[in-house]
């Protein structure tokens, strides 16, 4: 059997593979401390669940518009206007099967052979693969812990070529938790606007998970010219613990949304209808549930950062957002894949190798898990590193 060549262009998702292995070990009765999945351990808020139940009772089980339920598109537009200062109307939005599909759909819509997509590294592991599957070329720009794992305006300007079509911006970031300040966002916008054609997709899935003085600015809100160059991607998985609901969205100029709707009409069609009514409730109801979750994440962040950073041979970047700890393991002399495989095999602690995110000298821990797991997992991690002597 001959498979399409595009299949060989991309590797399997390492985060999904390691999460699956950890779950298989747990099913065998092994006590695994899993820091692998980027999935909040909180239940979906009750009012969101009830809204979906009510939608089921009301017969919201049929096909819907490919671009999403009109009520949800209106709610998304209101949210973006009010919270992000983005002048989008309902016609500027599309509801997608999770935030991930909004990005995949966009790549299929915009990118073709010969196009370059600029991606700061470390990066969410699916960005380059989505570009490759669309026929484009990922252009990876290395960042460093010393610079807060953020691309500078000078680096972005240097990376732009006549083939550059799109810049991928992710703030707060997966895997590092880095957050671009409003001043840094404006400086990047200046570089983008200085080019006559470069677009930016702003992945804002973690926008509500911020710590301390960190502030989120949507790059499309910098000025009207920037809004015309911006595609905003978001969803409900991280902010409202709705990972399995698969409801995300994108907002962009109407011509891009129409094109994405065309792609969606021939791929997934509409998102699960009754799940969209849960998403409406998530947007239109109190956000206290989000604040409570972020408060818990903040306490976990403080503990895991201080505890892991105190382990000899390990050093950590302190995240300003999201729920990940990016740990430099270079002093151990091991690559990230070997480190994570041995950590899982010997201490039953699951983490994600940094090679999946473009940096083989680091590993990623998700602290979207309970404190008992964090405390025990860090203890085992310290034992493992100590054993490397």
pLDDT in tens, 260-314: 999 999 999 999 999 999 999 999 999 999 999 999 999 999 999 999 999 999 9
- CA–CA distance, 384 with 389 (Å, rounded to integer): 10
> Stretch 123-128: mean pLDDT, rounded?
96
Q: Is residue 38 within 8 Å of 324, Cβ to Cβ?
A: yes
Give dist(CA 366, CA 39) in Å, integer.
8
Q: Which residue has the higher pLDDT, 22 or 162?
A: 162
DSSP string covering 125-181:
THHHHHHHHTT-EEEEEE--GGGTT---HHHHHHH--TTEEEEEEESS-TTT-----
Q: What is the pLDDT of residue 12?
A: 77
Closest-CA residue to 204 (of 177, 169, 228): 169
Least confident of 34-43, 228-237, 268-277, 346-355: 34-43
Residue range 317-375, pLDDT digits in tens? 999 999 999 999 999 999 999 999 999 999 999 999 999 999 999 999 999 999 999 99
Name all domains of the chain by residue range, CATH numbers in brackets: 5-44+288-387 (3.90.1150.10), 61-284 (3.40.640.10)
Question: Across residues 13-18, what is the average pLDDT?
Answer: 74
- What's the token pair of residue 51? 């809204």
Is 270:66 a contact under the CB 8 Å cutoff? yes
176 pLDDT band, cuts 50/70/90, is very high
Whether the model pTM is above 0.85 = yes
* Cα end-to-end distance, the chain, whole Å: 48
For residue 37, what pLDDT is reported? 81
Is residue 211 a contact partner of residue 175, using CB atoms and an 8 Å limit? no
Residue whose structure tokens are 């994405």: 260
């Amino acid at each position: 059997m001959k498979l399409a060549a595009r299949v060989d262009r991309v590797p399997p998702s390492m985060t999904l593979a390691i999460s699956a292995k950890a779950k298989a070990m747990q099913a065998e009765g092994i006590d695994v401390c899993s820091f692998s999945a980027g999935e909040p351990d909180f239940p979906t808020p009750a009012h969101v669940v009830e809204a979906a139940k009510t939608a089921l009772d009301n017969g919201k089980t049929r096909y819907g518009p490919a671009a999403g339920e009109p009520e949800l598109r209106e709610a998304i537009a209101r949210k973006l206007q009010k919270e992000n200062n983005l002048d989008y109307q309902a016609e500027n939005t599309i509801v997608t099967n999770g935030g991930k599909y909004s990005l995949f759909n966009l790549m299929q819509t915009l990118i073709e052979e010969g196009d370059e997509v600029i991606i700061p590294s470390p990066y969410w592991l699916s960005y380059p693969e989505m570009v490759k599957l669309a026929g484009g070329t990922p252009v990876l720009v290395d960042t460093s812990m010393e610079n807060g794992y953020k691309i500078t305006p000078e680096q972005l300007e240097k990376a732009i070529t006549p083939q550059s079509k799109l810049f991928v911006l992710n703030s707060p970031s997966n895997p590092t938790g880095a957050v671009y300040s409003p001043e840094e966002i404006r400086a990047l916008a200046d570089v983008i606007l200085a080019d006559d054609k470069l677009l930016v997709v702003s992945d804002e899935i973690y926008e509500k998970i911020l710590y301390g003085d960190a502030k989120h600015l949507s790059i499309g809100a910098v000025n009207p010219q920037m809004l015309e160059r911006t595609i905003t991607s978001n969803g409900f998985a991280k902010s409202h613990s709705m990972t399995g609901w698969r409801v995300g969205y994108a907002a962009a100029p109407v011509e891009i949304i129409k094109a994405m709707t065309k792609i969606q009409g021939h791929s997934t069609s509409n998102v699960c209808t009754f799940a969209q009514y849960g998403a409406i409730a998530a947007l239109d109801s109190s956000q206290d549930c989000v604040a409570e979750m972020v408060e818990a994440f903040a306490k976990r962040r403080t503990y895991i950062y201080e505890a892991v950073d105190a382990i000899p041979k390990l050093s950590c970047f302190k995240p300003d957002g999201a729920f990940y700890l990016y740990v430099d393991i270079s002093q151990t002399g091991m690559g990230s894949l070997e480190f994570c495989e041995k950590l899982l095999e010997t201490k039953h602690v699951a983490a994600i190798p940094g090679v999946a995110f473009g940096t083989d000298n680091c590993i990623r821990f998700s602290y979207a898990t309970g404190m008992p797991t964090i405390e025990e997992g860090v203890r085992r991690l310290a034992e493992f590193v100590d054993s490397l002597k």
